[in-house]
Structure 1
Amino acid sequence: MTVIDDARSSRRNHRFLDCAVAAAVFAYNLPVQGFAVPDSAVSWIAYALPVGLCLPYVFHRRRPLSMFSVIVATAYLQLALGVELLVADVMLVPALHAVARSRPPSNSVPAAVAVAVWTITMTMPSMERYSMSFGDVGLLVLIVAIAWLTGMLARVRNEYVHSLQLRAEQVERDAAAAERTRIAREIHDIVSHSLSAIVLLSEGAAGTVRQDPDAAAAAMKTVRDTGREAMTEMRSMLTVLHSDDPVDRVPAPGVAQLDGLVERSRAVGIPVDYRVTGEPVELPPGLQLVIYRVIQESLTNVGKHAGPEVRAVRVHLNYGPATIELTVADDGRGTDSSSATGWGLMGMRERVLAQGGTFDAGPTADGFHVAVSLPAEAVR
């Protein structure tokens, strides 16, 4: 059975229960109806009163205010006709509860006052006949107050549960948005780096195909390998997205793949000087991915923005006692921060900040630099 089927079944059960309550009160009222009808009352109107008091209750879930208005109007008509208390008058209590449960105090408070006034006005003249005391009248008014109060508490509870549901849905939407951002960032890093390398290699091969066919062929082989590697990474990401089994998840690139990244960058003409200092430690996969992507994106930006005059690109990864420092600096023509917008610098910054680190990037006197600092507590 689906959720929709459950909801439909629940609504049917509610309707059956509401009809059963109204029918039971109406049926119980019939044997005593004649004792409450004065001789002066028009008999068919007097006997129609229980219908007006009971039948509207069937609609209290869909039209609570309309339901209450009909019932309370019938009750005041009963008072005007001089008809004494009926068993069906008890329907004022659940009717008031329904209004308090489903409507704000601006509606439920006047409804409670109307029922309380009717109760006092209806019972006071009959106190002697029914051997009632003022305490009995007060008890009836207390029942009215309890019906209103329990309805109000139910309304507050329902609103609280609804707010929790909305909050849970918002958390789910935020998580989905964060996941989409993460996926978009990964796709950008994979595609941007690979395409930049392919473009640079293709341009180099096109310029040397006649003068040095062997070099052009080697460049095109690197283009093929770069494209295949990008396809493998994309396929791995899609596998992760479509599989809930951790066994199927392909490890993300990390510090172990940095040597290969540097070699591929050198193959496309970027003169990378890669150094590692300090005592290397085992890093969590998430942090390794951050380091890899920052270096990858920085080298991609060098290929796109530094220009052919770049002579050195220094990549330095230092394992310190308190922090892990990463710098990427080049001596090319560089670019200003405002022109390096989009997923590049923003994606690097978001990755680093998510690990509790600091990120700085911008032009220098002789090029462009990226500096990252990550807390050692996050990796040990």
Structure 2
Amino acid sequence: MLRRHSRPPAVAPDSILADTPTAPSDSSTATGEGRIPAFLPPSSVDWLVAVVVALFAVAEELSERGMAPQREHAAWWAVAGLVAAAGVLYRRRAPFAVLVGYSAANVAVFAVSAAPAGAWQFYTQLVLLFTLLSEVPIRSPKVAVGAVATGAYVVAMLINSTGSPGPGDFAVALVMTAIAAGAGLAVRRHRVLAVQAAERGELLAREAVAEERARLARELHDIVAHSVSVMTMQTGAVRLMLAPGQDRERETLTTVEETGRAALIELRRMVGLLRTADDDRLSPRAGLGRLDDLLDQVRAAGLDVTLDVRGEPAPLAAGLDLSAYRIVQEALTNALKHAGPTRAAVTIDHRPGELRLSVANEAPAHRPLGAPGAPGGGHGLIGMRERAALFDGTLTAAPLPSGGFEVRAVLPL
């Protein structure tokens, strides 16, 4: 059996588990090999594990120990330990090649030499097995080959050990190998779940953006359709007011009127394609002029909200007016959802060339256990940012020092 020591090896399971690369953002990691590209230099963790293996091997081979027989040619074994440490350094770049090469070299040495295996050799084999199973998919043929290579190493190590190995030796080797393999599988499983969770989050965010853009398109198409309808009716009214001799003008206005009606029909078709069952609850003509109705609804839901209008209100484009209303509406909804019944303040600041919006809520006096906190990255914020960006504006959302939350938007006029 391998030579025993009075102290455990320097490469503990915790340090092995720490040698796990950050889950790549590429979705292929969940199904393919998550190996590190060969051109990247080893990480600090790689260097740490390699140095530990090198020091462990050199200390074991060159130090005089009474609990284990000294092997011949100790200097050469120390050099072999340094070579193994170099393989450990690059094990994540080629986990399969390093494991198979290391296993084959050791089995060959055991076959031609009567020297028992060193403890550093066995622990290095476990590190390489852990790395292979944490980097390569379980269904890959490389996993099966790596398991066979590790089994061959363990058998050769036990056959070449000093004395006759007993059941306890086999049990220890089997248990330690199983622990390394299980840890590698667990790390890979955790990495795959992390990648899948990140992909689901990105997908939900993209769906939220698409949904909000579709809602914006529906609302703006309603506004445009209304404007085109007004233009068409006014053109027809002007045509009817023309004198009998103004045939050219009448023909031109008739063409404009017909074009407007055709555009209106196309716009209504497009709105019909974009519209969903939930659109009946939306008011396409909502704007800052209807904030009082919105605040009454929010107060009835339990949020004590105040309104402060500053500056001289200027006429706003219908789309901008609607988006400003929706930003305030979504910010108040988030405040009610995440902070519960508390106080909030809405500020509408009309400035030359821009419109500033602010919705700030206080922290609740008592937050129920498990209640959601500040809305740091929800879909509501995504929608508000989309609306601000549509008009080349900006939106910021951040917690307040007092524990509340504030949403600020600046919309150019």
- With the length of structure 2 as denominator, give the TM-score of the two structures: 0.46
Residue 111 of structure 2 corresponds to: 80
* Aligned partner (choices 159, 176, 183) of residue 216 of structure 2: 183
The answer (yes or no) to whether the contact 2:133–2:181 under 8 Å persists in 1 is yes
Give the whole-Å Cα distance in 2 for the aligned partners of 1:182 and 1:196: 21
The answer to whether structure 1 residue 98 and structure 2 residue 183 are counterparts is no
Give the whole-Å Cα distance in 1 for the aligned partners of 2:78 and 2:197: 48
Residue 145 of structure 1 corresponds to: 178
Consecutive unaligned residues in structure 2, runs of 5 or more:
1-21, 26-41, 245-284, 290-314, 333-345, 350-413
Residue 234 of structure 1 corresponds to: 319
Counterparts of 1:1-380 in structure 2, within 5 Å, are: 12-31=43-62, 37-38=71-72, 46-82=77-113, 83-89=115-121, 90-105=123-138, 106-128=141-163, 132-210=165-243, 232-239=317-324, 246=332, 247=346
The answer (yes or no) to whether the contact 1:97–1:147 under 8 Å persists in 2 is yes
Give the whole-Å Cα distance in 1 for the aligned partners of 2:105 and 2:327: 63
Residues 237 and 62 (structure 1), Cα distance of their counterparts in 2 relative to 1, 3 Å cut:
farther
Residues 148 and 249 (structure 1), Cα distance of their counterparts in 2 relative to 1, 3 Å cut:
farther
Give the whole-Å Cα distance in 1 for the aligned partners of 2:96 and 2:62: 30
Deviations 1:119-150 (A, max 9, x none): 1222224241xx74232123112211221122
Give the whole-Å Cα distance in 1 for the aligned partners of 2:228 and 2:88: 70
Higher relative contact order (CA 8 A, sep 6+): 2
The answer (yes or no) to whether the contact 2:134–2:184 under 8 Å persists in 1 is yes
The answer (yes or no) to whether the contact 1:240–1:249 under 8 Å persists in 2 is no
The answer (yes or no) to whether the contact 1:36–1:86 under 8 Å persists in 2 is no
Deviations 1:235-289 (A, max 9, x none): 2234357778553689xxxxxxxxxxxxxxxxxxxxxxxxxxxxxxxxxxxxxxx
Consecutive unaligned residues in structure 1, runs of 5 or more:
212-225, 251-380
Per the alignment, in what secondary structure is the counterpart of residue 117 of structure 2? coil
**In the TM superposition, what is the alpha-carbon distance from 1:57 to its structure 2 partner?**
1.0
The answer (yes or no) to whether the contact 1:22–1:54 under 8 Å persists in 2 is yes
Residues 36 and 114 (structure 1), Cα distance of their counterparts in 2 relative to 1, 3 Å cut:
farther
Per the alignment, in what secondary structure is the counterpart of residue 93 of structure 2? coil
Per the alignment, in what secondary structure is the counterpart of residue 226 of structure 2? helix
The answer (yes or no) to whether the contact 2:117–2:157 under 8 Å persists in 1 is yes
Task: Give structure 1 regions of 4+ aligned residues with deviation exceeding 6 angstroms.
Answer: 241-244
Aligned residues, how many? 223
**In the TM superposition, what is the alpha-carbon distance from 1:165 to its structure 2 partner?**
1.6
Same amino acid, percent of matched pairs: 19
Give the whole-Å Cα distance in 1 for the aligned partners of 2:120 and 2:165: 19
The letter of the residue matching 1:85 is A
**In the TM superposition, what is the alpha-carbon distance from 1:92 to its structure 2 partner?**
0.3
Give the whole-Å Cα distance in 2 for the aligned partners of 1:27 and 1:38: 14
Give the whole-Å Cα distance in 2 for the aligned partners of 1:199 and 1:81: 98
Give the whole-Å Cα distance in 1 for the aligned partners of 2:198 and 2:46: 26
Give the whole-Å Cα distance in 2 for the aligned partners of 1:233 and 1:168: 33
The answer (yes or no) to whether the contact 2:103–2:150 under 8 Å persists in 1 is yes
Residues 127 and 141 (structure 1), Cα distance of their counterparts in 2 relative to 1, 3 Å cut:
farther
Residues 166 and 201 (structure 1), Cα distance of their counterparts in 2 relative to 1, 3 Å cut:
same
CA-based RMSD of the aligned residues comes to: 3.8
Moved more, 92-101 or 195-204: 195-204
Larger Rg over CA atoms:
1
Residues 117 and 67 (structure 1), Cα distance of their counterparts in 2 relative to 1, 3 Å cut:
closer
Per the alignment, in what secondary structure is the counterpart of residue 317 of structure 2? helix
The letter of the residue matching 1:50 is G
The letter of the residue matching 1:200 is M
Give the whole-Å Cα distance in 2 for the aligned partners of 1:249 and 1:232: 16
- With the length of structure 1 as denominator, give the TM-score of the two structures: 0.50
Residues 120 and 136 (structure 1), Cα distance of their counterparts in 2 relative to 1, 3 Å cut:
same
